[in-house]
Structure 1
Amino acid sequence: MPRRAGVQVGPAQYFATAMDLLAERGPGELKIGTLCAALGVTSGSFYHHFAGWSGFVRALLEHWETEQTARVVALTQSTTTDPVQRLDVLKHLAVDLPHAAEAAIRAWAAGDVDVAVALRRVDDRRLAALEGVLAGAVPDRAVAARLASFGQSMLVGFQQIHHPPDPALLRALLDDYHQLVLRHVDPGAGGPSIVDSR
């Protein structure tokens, strides 16, 4: 890619390009040179925004956690107070996660302690958010916890197995999961929203 003379490339562009590179080439190819080449900028641009590679990785992981975990949780909570409808919102948001990039982050975490810590934090936050949604609809807390663990495991497993990710298959899996959850829902928790939302 030719150099972008006079074009400003900010942190958001670096993060988006890094996620694309992770998805397409894996963590082994995510380097300063590769990143700058993909953006069409010099390494000076990189160092203008980040204090070295470790600073970039830390910022990238914080961005990923904010955009793909904190934002998703906030959207779910702000969209509706109905726990069954919240589950439906989560289902649709889950399809749009950057699954190929997240699979690469999981591979990266196997050899990088900082990435592993960030990944564990993301997984823990997502599991807690899903369990919180389910606890509002499923009267048995132990069942809600198991269903949350099952849902999280299904999503992580999908990311590990399907390359490239198949959104249609994931929607079908999440629809099946949704139906499983509805079997355990308190009939008074969701009223008329307890239906097949496909």
Structure 2
Amino acid sequence: MKKKAPTRGAQLRYLEAGLEVLGSKGYAGLKLATVCEAVGATTGSFYHAFPNWAEYTSALIRHWRTEKSDRFIGSAREIADPIERLAFLVEIALRLPHASEAAIRVWAALDPSVQAIQIEADEERRAFIAEAYFEATNDRALAEQYATVAMFLLVGYESGTHQSPEALAWAFHVFVDKGLSENPGRAATLD
């Protein structure tokens, strides 16, 4: 009897569960049994959805990149006004699954293929932020500096031991407002 192909819905349940496990248990907790428990399914069901653990983890990091980075950037591209786009990017940054992203950074330190995807996502984020700042300020050097420091804020928050979402929100808003005020011709705030 021919094995039925897994549904995309079944695969997505395991991928979303993997991100939840990363967020709640860290990279060390990303195990087959833990993912199956999070889905409420058996290992047999897992192996129907994915042929092996390596293919699953490869799909998991690609899923993170697509759903938690690329999709958000795609939504931000639709916003024409650069100041509104920066405000939207701040809201995205505040809603990211920070615990999952921190676990992915640990995973990336141990797995070169994950590291490559994580670096690509970080660089795409940084470049997109820089472009929005450039459009808002018309100063390329300032835009590059602000985008790089915005990534420092994000990565530092995700990697830190003291996490205050309120403090992160405050820091991003102050930081963006400061960047926009550096250009008197486009002075505006994110209010």
Name the counterpart of 1:138: 137
Query: Aligned-pair distance for 1:63?
Result: 1.0
**Is the 2:61–2:114 Cα contact (8 Å) retained in structure 1?**
yes
Query: Aligned-pair distance for 1:169?
Result: 1.8
Q: Does 1:195 align with 2:186?
A: no
Name the counterpart of 2:177: 179
Runs of 4+ in 1 over 6 A off after TM superposition: none
Structure 1-normalised TM-score? 0.86
Name the counterpart of 2:160: 161
**Structure 2 gaps, min length 5:** 1-7
- One-letter code of the match for 1:114? S
Q: Does 1:119 align with 2:118?
A: yes
Query: Aligned-pair distance for 1:9?
Result: 6.5
Map residues 86-97 of structure 1 onto 2, 5 A cutoff: 86-97=85-96
**Is the 1:22–1:100 Cα contact (8 Å) retained in structure 2?**
yes
**Is the 1:22–1:104 Cα contact (8 Å) retained in structure 2?**
yes
Counterparts of 1:25 and 1:127, CA distance in 2: 28
Name the counterpart of 1:148: 147
RMSD: 1.8
Identical aligned pairs, as a percentage? 33
Map residues 1-198 of structure 1 onto 2, 5 A cutoff: 10-78=10-78, 80-162=79-161, 165-185=163-183, 187-188=185-186, 194-197=188-191
How many residues align structurally?
184
SS in 2 for 1:137: helix
- One-letter code of the match for 1:148? A
Counterparts of 2:180 and 2:95, CA distance in 1: 22
Structure 2-normalised TM-score? 0.89
Query: Aligned-pair distance for 1:131?
Result: 1.0
**Is the 2:87–2:190 Cα contact (8 Å) retained in structure 1?**
no
Counterparts of 2:27 and 2:10, CA distance in 1: 21
